[in-house]
Amino acid sequence: MSLTRDALVEYLEESAGADMDDVNDDTPLFSSGLVDSFAMVDLLMFLEKHTGTKLGPEDIDLDNLDTLARILAFVSARKQQG
Amino acid sequence: MTAAPGIVVLGSPRSGTTLLRRILDAHSNIACPPETYVLSAAARFLHEEKFDHGLRIGVLVGLGYAGVEEADALTRLREFTFGLLADNAKRQGKPRWAEKTAFDAFHVAAIRKLCQGHVRFICMQRHGMDVACSLGDLVDKTGGYVDELHPYIRQYPQRLQAFAHAWRDTSTAIADLADEDDGALQIRYEDLAADPEAVARSVLAHVGEPWEDGLVDRALSKTPEQVGFGDWKTYGRAQVDTSSVGRWKKLPAPALHGIAEICNPLLTRLGYDAVQADAVDDEDARRRYELGLMMARMKAAKAAKAAVAKAAKPAKG
């Protein structure tokens, strides 16, 4: 099952307590402080469970995780890698 | 003419009681000074212990052996404590006193014994998980734990759980008071933050004072002559907002689970939704720790990259 944008936004609102009202696909989440370190770790756990893979240090990078668009692209790529 | 009774605000520390104090003090008939600790001091004076065989020891029992009736001792203590607060009101040119000291919440039983039937109580409640988060801020800010928190910290080494237990005990005692005393009004911080005028109006109606236009704005804009003890955050705000509501939602899952179990029964009683938080198993806890380390590594790399970029940037001029 692919991760949809709506499901990701809902997760960030409900579980990370982030205010997603003014967030677009390219709004920085972590580097702007909208999502803090604790919530980011929760998000990583969520992504691992969703993709069924373990993330490594090379994956945990703002290039992969700092916006909705990057997270969705990263998850999609991980799914394709199987 | 009988003077209007005093007003006592009770709420677990970090429940927004300083905001309410400022609103009360801005009223032309009410003087509510920064925290005086008068009532908690009186409560300590009244402290007593009871043993298995029923023997009570404490000042009221002790004075009883010296021929002083309990009611008489309480009357004299009441006259002393209320008199100090009434004198302050008189100095402010106001006819009525109010008292708010956050840590009074740990002495509700004795304060009831002293005050019940002689004051109007305002009972402030706030979501327990937000209180626990905010108590953490307080401890970080002050660099220590007040005496009332020591038993909780000793018993519960996980700090948020200690604060959640403290909230549960104090807020239960305050909710019991609100349920049992006709002279008590219970309000919620979340409602005060969302609509301060509506809640302030209900408080003033309860204590029998008229509404004054512009009261809330006056309370927030007034430069205090004496900041005194109390919340520091309220003085940094020009208006009331709800930014401190729901902070608990950002807690990591294991912390949330730990305090949800403690808070949920009382949250439900107070009209909040119970918080659903799944237990975290050992494997998840280990993985969370590993991911936290990787996050720290990413943050350090990001900071180093920013420092290099800054150093490479040519100086202006």
Interface contact B287-A48, CB threshold 8 A: yes
Task: Let me know whether B201 and B306 are in one domain.
Answer: no
Cα–Cα distance, B235 to B23 (Å, whole number): 12
| pLDDT digits 0-9 by tens, B290-313 | 999 998 888 888 888 888 888 887
Task: Let me know whether B127 and B187 are in one domain.
Answer: yes
User: What letter does residue A13 receive in the DSSP assignment?
Assistant: H
Cβ contact B123:B186 at 8 Å:
yes
Structure tokens at B101: 């000291």
Interface contact B294-A48, CB threshold 8 A: no
Tell me whether residue B263 is in a domain. no
State the pTM of this model.
Answer: 0.80
Cβ contact B112:B74 at 8 Å:
no
The residue in chain A having the minimum alpha-carbon distance to the alpha carbon of residue B292 is A41
Q: What percent of chain B has pLDDT over 70?
A: 93
Task: Let me know whether B180 and B289 are in one domain.
Answer: no
Instruction: Give the pLDDT confidence score for residue B1 in this predicted structure.
Output: 44
| pLDDT digits 0-9 by tens, B118-155 | 999 999 999 999 999 999 988 988 888 999 999 999 99
Task: Let me know whether B89 and B147 are in one domain.
Answer: yes
Tell me whether residue B258 is in a domain. no
Segment B94-116 shows an average pLDDT of 96
Mean of the per-residue pLDDT values for chain B?
A: 91
Instruction: Give the pLDDT confidence score for residue B235 in this predicted structure.
Output: 62
Instruction: Give the pLDDT confidence score for residue B172 in this predicted structure.
Output: 98
Task: Let me know whether B240 and B133 are in one domain.
Answer: yes
Cβ contact B129:B263 at 8 Å:
yes
Task: Let me know whether B201 and B310 are in one domain.
Answer: no
| Listed residues B194, B222, B247: the one ending a domain | B247
Question: Which of B1-5, B198-202, B301-305 has the least mean pLDDT?
Answer: B1-5
Task: Let me know whether B308 and B187 are in one domain.
Answer: no
Instruction: Give the pLDDT confidence score for residue B105 in this predicted structure.
Output: 97
Task: Let me know whether B239 and B149 are in one domain.
Answer: yes
Interface A-B: count of C-beta contacts within 8 A: 50
User: What CATH number does the domain containing B116 carry?
Assistant: 3.40.50.300
- For residue B247, give the nearest of A18, A33, A7, A41 by alpha carbon: A18
Tell me whether residue B264 is in a domain. no
Amino acid at A60: I
Length of chain B as a residue count: 317
* Boundaries of domain holding B290: 284-317
Segment B56-67 shows an average pLDDT of 94
Interface contact A37-B295, CB threshold 8 A: yes
Tell me whether residue B191 is in a domain. yes
Our CA-based measurement puts residue A35 at a distance from the nearest CA of chain B, in whole angstroms, of 9
pLDDT at residue B2 is higher than 60: no
Tell me whether residue B277 is in a domain. no
Task: Let me know whether B310 and B207 are in one domain.
Answer: no
Per-residue pLDDT of chain A (82 residues; tens, 9 = 90+): 678 999 999 988 887 778 888 889 999 998 888 888 888 888 998 899 888 889 998 899 888 899 999 999 999 888 777 6
pLDDT at residue B60 is higher than 60: yes
Tell me whether residue B270 is in a domain. no
Report chain A residues whose CB lies below 8 A from the CB of B250.
16-17, 36, 38-39
Tell me whether residue B233 is in a domain. yes
Q: Does A38 touch chain B (CB under 8 A)?
A: yes
Tell me whether residue B106 is in a domain. yes
Instruction: Give the pLDDT confidence score for residue B317 in this predicted structure.
Output: 55
Task: Let me know whether B192 and B315 are in one domain.
Answer: no
ipTM of the complex: 0.88
Instruction: Give the pLDDT confidence score for residue B188 in this predicted structure.
Output: 97
- For residue B44, give the nearest of B130, B115, B109 by alpha carbon: B109
How many structural domains comprise chain B?
2
Task: Let me know whether B243 and B290 are in one domain.
Answer: no
Instruction: Give the pLDDT confidence score for residue B229 in this predicted structure.
Output: 63
Instruction: Give the pLDDT confidence score for residue B255 in this predicted structure.
Output: 87
Higher pLDDT, B254 or B161: B161
